[in-house]
Structure 1
Amino acid sequence: MSGFEQLLQGQLPKLVMFDLDGTLIDSVPDLATAVETMLLKLGRPPAGIENVRMWIGNGAPLLVRRALAGNMQASDVDDAEAEKALEIFMDAYDGGHDQTTVYPGVRESLKWLQKQGVEMALITNKPERFVAPLLDEMKLGRFFRWIVGGDTMPQKKPDPAALFFVMKMAGVTPAQSLFVGDSRNDVLAAKAAGVRCVALSYGYNHGRPIAEESPDAVIDNLQELIAGCLDSAPEITLGASVHPSQRDSIVVVTRKLWMKVIKALARWRWRA
């Protein structure tokens, strides 16, 4: 029995939602390069890659504010300066992602889920404009039917709005879904949506062990879910096999689409 089935009472999930940075890809080197370029242009001292690793996870605007302040609290940052710095950072990060890598076990796990007919979505706090091109650059884009960026919706994780939205689009319930991430924001969003959460130990949880956030499972490699290596899971009789389904083209959830469905989502969210 796979780890996916052990988490959902012997059944494969119908939908698996993934975080991006720190879960599927290690993007810190390129993010740090963009931050250093921004600080240099503003006449500020460099931040260092380890500080950037601590600061990411809450979206680009807060990352930029933390870099300007030199701390997690992002205190005493002028709004006009932050806006100018964000523009510089976005342009710098748009320049390339040569140092970004896919974590071991990710491609194998996504291929396995695709073969089982499990739908997949990506929900990230990274700005929308970077997400689809980066996925294609990493050769991961073909796996995801739904993609939600950090500025796609009015809310971002840890708010569960994006999870509710994707589940609505997929026509599944929280009990049929799973979220895979690496940070406190991911765990909180999954819990608020009533979705089981698996956390990767190698991610960017602001320097804190992800186990402290009490996800349903902590693993070191996504392939552990394929191999059924979750020792604490009970032995459960497998349900019927899930066969691959015909897939539509990838749906990149844009702000325009979000505005069309926000009223329906709100009604569904509060009934769930």
Structure 2
Amino acid sequence: MKYIIFDFDGTLADSTAVFASAWNTIAQKYKFKGIELKEIESLKKLSIAERSKLFDFPMYKLPMILPQFYRLYRQSLNDVHLYDGIKEVLMEIDKKGYKILIISSNSQENILEFLKLNNIHCVSKVLSSTRIFGKDKVIKKFLKESGITPSEVFYIGDEQRDIVACKKVGVPIIWVSWGYDAIEVVQQEEPEYKVNTPQEILNII
């Protein structure tokens, strides 16, 4: 094993409140349905398609919305927080000699600024997927450019789409339970590993 790749939102960073606030600003502008924080837990049990329908949001508008969304997100970076125990796990992985990457649908600019704000210096590279369902292409390109095989990598993420992307390229995935997708959504994709606390990640890698 050479590389440990992390998703960002819902895996490393708890951005729930910021996501909701940014979405509500956009929803008000474009007449979509807003989110109440009390709805978050129930939303985790819905697929992206089901959430889209619930909020009267046509998925084809996503490319138009995402740049605005992440600009709003950046304005509230101070309200995004690391999950408890994540920083210690990152430091331990770094000590073990693994290279740490982040591959996310969030913008590279947002993630790099967040890492700086939180004094995290062990992440060697941040890659951004410009398409919400395009992580497999980013992972595949990274593997090719790095000259490594899927078996030399672990991906750690929280969403169904993370698992689907990893299955496409043959990269084993550790699904984390504290993120945006509940077990009811992801279990049909059969992730290789499931963890309920950051510390459990160290028992696998």
TM range (shorter): 0.7 to 0.9
Which position in structure 2 is the counterpart of 1:255? Answer: none
SS of equivalent residue, structure 2 residue 79: coil
Which position in structure 2 is the counterpart of 1:97? Answer: 77
Give the counterpart letter for 1:49 in structure 2. L
Q: Matches of 1:139 and 1:21 in 2, distance apart?
A: 17
**What TM-score do you get using the length of structure 1 for normalisation?**
0.62
SS of equivalent residue, structure 1 residue 104: coil
The superposition leaves residues 3-50 of structure 1 with CA deviations (integer Å, 9 ceiling, x where unpaired) of xxxxxxxxxx21111111111111111111112223344566632235
CA contact (8 A) 2:155 2:173 kept: yes
Which position in structure 2 is the counterpart of 1:148? Answer: 127
SS of equivalent residue, structure 2 residue 184: coil
Q: Matches of 1:45 and 1:159 in 2, distance apart?
A: 27
CA RMSD of aligned residues (A): 3.3
CA contact (8 A) 1:146 1:166 kept: no
Show structure 1 runs of 5+ residues with no match: 1-12, 231-272
- After superposition, the Cα gap between the structure-2 partners of 1:93 and 1:57, relative to the gap in structure 1 and judged at 3 Å, is farther
CA contact (8 A) 1:30 1:98 kept: no
Q: Paired residues, what number?
A: 201
2:55 matches 1:70: yes
Which position in structure 1 is the counterpart of 2:2? Answer: 14
Which position in structure 1 is the counterpart of 2:184? Answer: 208
CA contact (8 A) 1:128 1:148 kept: yes
The superposition leaves residues 40-95 of structure 1 with CA deviations (integer Å, 9 ceiling, x where unpaired) of 4456663223556748997xxx9xx949x714xx3398x5x984x65653442221
More helix by share: 2
Q: Which has the higher mean CA deviation after the structures are superposed, 125-134 or 36-45? A: 36-45
**What TM-score do you get using the length of structure 2 for normalisation?**
0.80
CA contact (8 A) 1:211 1:218 kept: no
Runs of 4+ residues deviating >6 angstroms: 55-58
Which position in structure 1 is the counterpart of 2:110? Answer: 130
| Identity across matched positions, percent | 21
Q: Matches of 2:27 and 2:122 in 1, distance apart?
A: 36
CA contact (8 A) 1:156 1:162 kept: no
CA contact (8 A) 1:20 1:122 kept: yes
Which position in structure 1 is the counterpart of 2:174? Answer: 198
Give the counterpart letter for 1:25 in structure 2. A
The superposition leaves residues 173-198 of structure 1 with CA deviations (integer Å, 9 ceiling, x where unpaired) of 11111111111111111111111111
Q: Matches of 2:81 and 2:133 in 1, distance apart?
A: 23
Which position in structure 1 is the counterpart of 2:136? Answer: 160
Query: 1:210 deviation in Å?
Result: 3.1
